[in-house]
Amino acid sequence: PLMPQRDIFSILIFGTRFGSSDNPHTQQSRASQASLFLVNELSKDYVKALGLDVLMFEYNSNSGTIDTTIGKEVSDETTLMLKSKSEGGSVIIQQKLSPKWKVELGIGNESQSIDIIHKKKY
């Protein structure tokens, strides 16, 4: 649909419309998303200096905190990651199956998960 350029740009980068809102929680969430986008972009320069392959920050809207994920490739196809959340942490083992497919096994304080991920190019 037709929309202002700033909304298009905001959706492409932050996944949400820029539009104004009187809700302070929504404004805080948008500010957090914008800040985290910049932090994630800037952290790419420091990843290799720290000897890591993954360094990612995500805003957790449920707890209002920032979740941190760090990771290291242990082989060409396997990456070991640690995710720190306010509710606890988890260990994630990511295995690349092909250029388009990977599987993640997650082990947390109170849960386990397995995710099969397909990467599609647009």
| CA–CA dist 13, 44 (Å, integer) | 16
| CA–CA dist 46, 52 (Å, integer) | 9
pLDDT at 2: 78
Token pair recorded at residue 10: 């905001």
List C-alpha distances in Å: 80 to 14, 77, 91, 100, 111.
27, 10, 7, 19, 18
Q: What is the pLDDT of residues 69-87, one digit of tens each?
A: 899 999 999 999 999 887 7
Q: Say if residue 33's pLDDT is above 70.
A: no
Q: Say if residue 35's pLDDT is above 60.
A: yes
| CA–CA dist 3, 5 (Å, integer) | 7
pTM for this structure?
A: 0.61
pLDDT at 24: 47
| CA–CA dist 113, 90 (Å, integer) | 10
Specify the pairing of strand 65-73 against strand 88-96. unpaired
Q: What is the pLDDT of residues 38-53, one digit of tens each?
A: 776 777 777 877 888 9
pLDDT at 67: 84
Neighbours of 13 (CB within 10 A): 12
Task: For residue 42, give the H/E element and its range.
Answer: helix 24-47
